[in-house]
Amino acid sequence: MALDATAPSSTGDGGAEAVRPLLSAAEAEELDAMYAPYARCDAYGTMGRGALPFLRQAELALRAILLVPLRFVLGMLLLVTYYLVCRVCTLFVDGVAEGRPRLQGWRRVAVVWSGRGLARAVLFVFGFYWIRETDRSSPNAEDVHQGQSEEWEKPGAIVSNHVSYVDILYHMSVSFPSFVAKESVSRLPLVGLISKCLGCIFVQRESKASDSKGVSGAVTERVQEVCQDKNSSMMLLFPEGTTTNGDYLLPFKTGAFLARVPVQPVILRYPYTMFSPAWDSIDGARHVFLLLCQIVNYIEVVRLPVYYPSDQEKEDPKLYASNVRKLIATEGNLILSNLGLAEKRVYHEALNGLL
pLDDT of residue 183: 85
Question: Which H or E element spans position 298?
Answer: none
For the cut 70, the answer to whether the pLDDT of residue 204 exceeds it is yes
CA distances from 226 to 64, 220, 222, 313, 324 (A): 43, 10, 6, 20, 20
Give the pLDDT mean for 143-156.
56
Ranking 106-115, 151-160, 247-256 by mean pLDDT, the lowest is: 151-160
pLDDT in tens, 295-352: 999 999 999 999 999 999 999 999 999 999 999 999 999 999 998 888 888 887 777 6
Cα–Cα distance for residue pair 217/97, rounded to 1 Å: 21
pLDDT of residue 28: 54
The predicted model scores a pTM of 0.84
pLDDT level of residue 61 (50, 70, 90 thresholds): very high
Q: Comparing C-alpha atoms, which of 124, 169, 175 is closest to residue 303?
A: 175
pLDDT level of residue 153 (50, 70, 90 thresholds): low
Find the distance separating the first CA and the last CA of the chain, reported in whole Å: 13
pLDDT level of residue 2 (50, 70, 90 thresholds): very low
For the cut 50, the answer to whether the pLDDT of residue 268 exceeds it is yes
DSSP classification of residue 188: S
